[in-house]
Chain A
Amino acid sequence: MTDFIKPLPHTDQPLTAPYWEGTAKGELKIKKCQSCGSLQFPPREMCKRCHSQDFDWVAASGKASLFTYSPAITPAHPSFKDDAPYAVVIVELEEGPRMLGLATNVAVDKLEIGMPMQPVYHKASDDVTLVYWEPAAA
């Protein structure tokens, strides 16, 4: 039987490399527009508020709440067989932007929109640290 391997992100792409450098250090890096100061995720080429293309990367606090979620009772791909049932979540950072990741340390049916969430840094390989999300104390 084939062993299926989970798809890891490509961490060397110019638009997103600083994000993955951040997660490796336990930091949640988001892009901040140098012109109008708006924060955004996922990383973009242009600020949709003021259309500047100049950005800095800043670290978010990691304080977040559950915006919505998508439970998978059966895996989307055989490489997630051992995770099922699992839920992919979108969290809203206290700074405003939303991020997507895998829910961890919580049963799928215990997720509730609005609940406080915090990041869990999961070292998936020598080069890649993924960000999972778990419930946080209120």
Chain B
Amino acid sequence: MGSYSNNTAIVGIGETLHVRGTERTAISLGLEASMNAIDDAGLRPEDIDGIVLPLGLHRVEEYAAGLNPTDLKYHASIEIGGASTVASIQYAASAIQSGIAEYVLVVNGSRMFSDMRAQTGDVNLDWLAEQFPAGMLRRNFEMPYGLMLMPQYYTMIFNRWVRDYNIDPDSFCHVALAASKHAQLNDNAMLKGKQLTEEKYLNAPLLHPPLRRFDYCLESDGGSAYLLTSAERAKDLKQKPVYVMAATEGHPDSPDDLCARDHLFTTGLSKCAGRAFETAGVKPDDLEFAQIYDCFTATVMLQMELMGLCEMGGSPDFVKDGNIELGGKLPVNTHGGLLAESYSMGMNHVNEAVRQLRGDAGERQIEGCSLGAVTGWGDFGDGSIAIVRN
């Protein structure tokens, strides 16, 4: 059993508006989200004594300068790309459980839309390479061959998966449609008011085959934060606590490079999901919702297989017939996810899990839900998962 199982809780969440293009700095967005999360918990910024930054584009000191905590006892920068946001729960929870810190803030502010789009030609490629693990390999062995965007890396995995497990790429449509449907119920979703149809999905151009236009997540600028404390302290705060039953991370072999890897489908999530379910004492079938990292539609389906929701190759069946929509067998990405709410590094998946378990999800509330999971996928196959309850 993980020693922090059920001993910590998420007690505050905060976000900014999610936009395409902003004059504001990433830190400014992150600070606004931090204040929203601290206020949501009924705390004051000086109470924060731990700060965790998923994806270390910035330094903890820069956040501390504004929040001005009385005694910052713990900091960490988690460097596994999109898996960092959910993995951060593990770092925050273990710091709290061990007594190092009492109130740990996890915050991300980013300008992914404004600063990181290689295809415009405006980005310095030496700098971009260093945003990945083993930047030297990216810069010297990949960029000279025209490989520099995330969809290109994922497509390397998807094309092998499609072939080895006889996956029909048209099935990705179900993930895109569910996300779009859910986003229509979310005022902070960037694609609210722009509902996707099956016809529109199937007629959209292939950009990185097998991926079509609507298989991609949004690019956005914004800030998101959440705040953890001990289960004991959580009882006295403003919100209904959301308890962390388990939070784990995992890594593929040769995590910094796809070529050097022995097994393409032994990923971080396939290693850490079992540990998390065992620690939590629940089975994948018990989940009432899942917020699954959706940088692409296909990423969601592959993760369903890797985390044991279905067999390898079984996800096309799992996602059809509205099974992953609200009211279906397992609602997935009830806020619209990265595909239809905002990119937010996946922070928004954690915040949506919290809203659902508080009963604060409004029109998209899963009535009476008490157990869910959140996953992250980062870099070249790092994975993370948290299992949470109310």
Q: Which residues of A are at the interface with B, using a C-beta cutoff of 8 A? A: 2, 4, 6-10, 13, 15-16, 40-42, 44, 48, 67-80, 83, 86, 88, 90, 97-102, 108-109, 113, 124, 128, 130, 132
Q: Does B202 contact A (CB under 8 A)?
A: no
Contact across chains for B142 and A10 when beta carbons are under 8 A apart: no
A9-B139, A10-B139, A42-B259 as given contacts; A102 in contact with B146, CB under 8 Å:
yes
> Which one of B29-37, B155-163, B223-231, B276-284 contacts A?
B155-163
- How far, in whole Å, are A8 and B259 apart by their CA atoms in the complex? 20
We find that the number of chain B residues with CB closer than 8 angstroms to chain A is 38
Question: Residues 153-181 of chain B: 1 if any A CB is under 8 Å from the residue's CB, otherwise 0?
Answer: 10111011001000000000000000000
CB <8 Å contact, A16 and B140:
yes
B residues adjacent to A (C-beta < 8 A): 118-121, 125, 136-137, 139-149, 152-153, 155-157, 159-160, 163, 205-209, 253-254, 257-260, 264
Task: For B129, give the chain A residue with the smallest CB separation.
Answer: A7
Cα separation A73 to B139 with both chains bound (whole Å): 21
Bound Cα distance A42, B152 (Å): 19
Measured between beta carbons, the chain B residues less than 8 angstroms from A2 are 121
Cross-chain pairs A/B with CB under 8 angstroms, 13 sampled? A4-B121, A6-B144, A13-B136, A48-B254, A70-B147, A70-B153, A73-B208, A77-B125, A78-B119, A80-B146, A90-B258, A100-B147, A109-B209
Closest to A11 in B: B140
Given contacts A7-B125, A42-B137, A100-B141, A86 and B146 within 8 Å (CB-CB): yes
What is the CA–CA distance of A99 and B142 in the complex, to the nearest angstrom?
A: 10
Known A67-B160, A68-B156: A100·B144 in contact at CB below 8 Å? no
Contact B155 A76 (CB under 8 A): no
Q: Which residue of B lies closest to A68 (CB)?
A: B160
